[in-house]
Amino acid sequence: MFDAFQRVLEQVQGTIFEWALQPALFHLGLMDWSEDVFDGVEFALYGALAVALAYTLFRPLELWRPVEKWDERRAVRTDIVYTLVHRLGVVPAILFLVLAPIGVTIDSYSRFEGYIPPAIEQLVTPLFNHPFATFLVYMVVLDLGEYWRHRLQHRLPWWWALHSVHHDQRQMTLWSDDRNHILDDMLALVWSGTLAMLIGVPPGEYPLVLIGFRLIESLSHTNVRLGFGRFGSALLVGPHYHRVHHSIEHAAAPFIRSRGCNFAVILPIWDVVFGTWRHDDAAYPQTGVASLTGPAVRCGYLRHQWEGFRRLAAAIAHLISRRQPDFVAALPAE
């Protein structure tokens, strides 16, 4: 069934590319971009599928057992824009255009210095004849990398300035996963690109499985009273688990370790191992950043992105002048 469904997606991808995009590339003299654009169509197609699935599966949960109800949902509509520009490939395309040449330059330089990055199955040879197991190993390693990137986002003031764009949402829903500043997305790509230089990239045979991981990330932001219990929340990140991470209390002092918890994206084992795991059956805390309210939080996409630039500038000014940026609340007594 999955094979047949994937076959349909392949034909849709090919048709969109051949009829809508290849003619444009040809007439614009951009035929050297053919393969990248073809891959981009696949990204957008699977992204649209992931969005549709997330809405179909998780919106009923939000209606059934919401943590919060709101009369005014403008901030939620902004998150829908965030989701679409990310999952349909607009932001990834921009980042690719900006960063790919840099990545190629660095990778190419490394080849002339004699370094060729290995793939995991070349380092762990028993994996070689088991591509799905290799894929899962990559997912685990990349999830570990994402855990530490997330820790740094909360630990470094200038990075928190960008990451606060994600955390300032007080109406967290299934749409909130992609609520990120474009510079933060760029740093994420640099991070994953650096990992790729060390361990290669995952096998390409499992695009439908990748959707599953994206669905987990959407579910973890869903506005629903749903937890996996104490044992389950040590196995898989869920809505309750991740809501505790988004707690407005924890964002009050984001770069104090004792105030941050539940940084994992997919696998809470990293929180368990590194001592940042927290479970509280009763708590479905309010989300957001205490010092960030009003239009700067409930605005549209472009204004929100500009707000992120403003916060970054303030954080850098603070580093230089030691002047306290406005988005860092006065530290409460411990």
Partner 1 sequence: MIFAAAFAAMLGATIPAMATTAVVLNSDDDSVSVIDSYREVSRTHIGRGPHHLIGSPDGRTLIIAMSGSNELVLIDRVTGVEKQRITASDPYQIGFSPDAKWFVAASLRLDHIDIYDGQTFQLLHRLPIGTMPSHIAFSRDSSTAFVTLQGTNGLTSIDLASGKVNWIVPVGPTPAGIITRPGGTLLVGVMGTDHIAEVDPANGTIIRKIVTGNGAHNFLATPDGKTLYVTNRVAGTISVLDAGTLAITNTLQAPGGPDDMALSPDGRELWVTGRWHAWVNVIELASGVLKTSVPVGRSPHGIFVY
Smallest gap from Cβ 217 to partner 1, in A, equals 24
Beta carbon nearer to partner 1, 6 or 291: 6
Residues 6+ positions from 332 with CB-CB distance below 8 Å: 252, 253
User: Which DSSP helix (H) or strand (E) runs through 313?
Assistant: helix 301-321
Please list every residue from 104 through 143 that binds partner 1, using CB under 8 A: 104, 107-108, 111-112, 116-117, 119, 122, 129, 131
Give me the long-range contacts of 202-208 (CB less than 8 A, separation at least 24).
202/134, 202/135, 202/138, 202/139, 202/142, 203/131, 203/134, 203/135, 203/138, 205/131, 205/135, 206/132, 206/135, 207/6, 207/42, 207/46, 208/2, 208/5, 208/6, 208/46
Give the contact letters, 58-97, x = binds to partner 1 (CB under 8 A), - = no: ----------------------------------------
Smallest gap from Cβ 125 to partner 1, in A, equals 11
Smallest gap from Cβ 49 to partner 1, in A, equals 15
Residues 6+ positions from 158 with CB-CB distance below 8 Å: 312, 315, 316, 319
Smallest gap from Cβ 104 to partner 1, in A, equals 6
Beta carbon nearer to partner 1, 14 or 232: 14
Give the contact letters, 41-60, x = binds to partner 1 (CB under 8 A), - = no: -x------------------
In this structure, what are the phi and psi dihedrals at residue 287, rounded to the nearest 5 degrees? -100, 165
Please list every residue from 210 through 249 that binds partner 1, using CB under 8 A: none
Beta carbon nearer to partner 1, 208 or 248: 208
Smallest gap from Cβ 204 to partner 1, in A, equals 5
Beta carbon nearer to partner 1, 15 or 293: 15
Residues 6+ positions from 145 with CB-CB distance below 8 Å: 191, 192, 195
Beta carbon nearer to partner 1, 189 or 261: 189
Beta carbon nearer to partner 1, 134 or 287: 134
Smallest gap from Cβ 106 to partner 1, in A, equals 10
- Decide if 49 contacts 10 (C-beta within 8 A): no
Give the chain's length: 334
> How far apart are the C-alpha atoms of 104 and 158, rounded to whole Å?
27
Tokens linked to 46 = 């699977």
> How far apart are the C-alpha atoms of 93 and 82, rounded to whole Å?
14
- Decide if 328 contacts 291 (C-beta within 8 A): yes
Beta carbon nearer to partner 1, 31 or 283: 31
> How far apart are the C-alpha atoms of 196 and 223, rounded to whole Å?
34
Please list every residue from 2 through 41 that binds partner 1, using CB under 8 A: 7, 10-11, 13-15, 17-18, 22-23, 26, 29, 31-32, 35, 38-39
Query: Which of 204, 212, 295, 332 is the binder for partner 1 (CB under 8 A)?
Result: 204
Q: How many residues bind partner 1 (CB under 8 A)?
A: 34
- Decide if 140 contacts 198 (C-beta within 8 A): no
- Where along the sequence are the contacts to partner 1 (CB under 8 A)? 7, 10-11, 13-15, 17-18, 22-23, 26, 29, 31-32, 35, 38-39, 42, 104, 107-108, 111-112, 116-117, 119, 122, 129, 131, 200-201, 203-205
